[in-house]
Amino acid sequence: MGSNGESIPHDPVPVSAFGLELVIQPATGGGCVYSGPFTDYTPNLGPVSYEPFVNLTYNPRCLRRDVSLVYANNTKPTDVVDLLAINGTLEEFNTAFEAPDGVHAAGHFIIGGDPGNDPF
């Protein structure tokens, strides 16, 4: 899937979505992806905020990543197996899956949520 973003110092990224307030701490990247198939990929939408969705205008820029080892640690194969095996009801599964540090959130935030705060 290509590289992390170039390493640049940056502040934490606040995320407000669906009634949750999270702060994605800076990791080891933050800049433009510098190798792999997405090196020259140009997102043209946003960046947008989660709530309300704003700035849906044409805005070409580089694809940025800030790979978070904290969130990557929440998506190990054993975490997914445990999610399926341990939760006995659909309600328990959904609560664990949708937790701010759960597998679903980690899938979004492992890349740093694009420090431009692009939810897509």
Query: Which residues are registered as beta bridge partners of 17?
Result: 20
Which tens digits make up the pLDDT trace of 41-71?
888 766 665 555 566 677 788 888 888 888 8
**Among residues 69, 67, 1, which one has the least CA distance to residue 31?**
67
Asked if the model's pLDDT at residue 19 lies above 80, the reply is no
One DSSP character per residue, the chain reads ----EEE-----EEEEETTEEEEE---S-EEEE-SSTTTT----B----SSS----SB-----B----HHHHGGG-HHHHHHHHHH--SHHHHHHHHTSTTSHHHHHHHTTTTTTTT---
DSSP conformational letter for 56: -
How confident is the model at residue 51, as a pLDDT?
Answer: 54
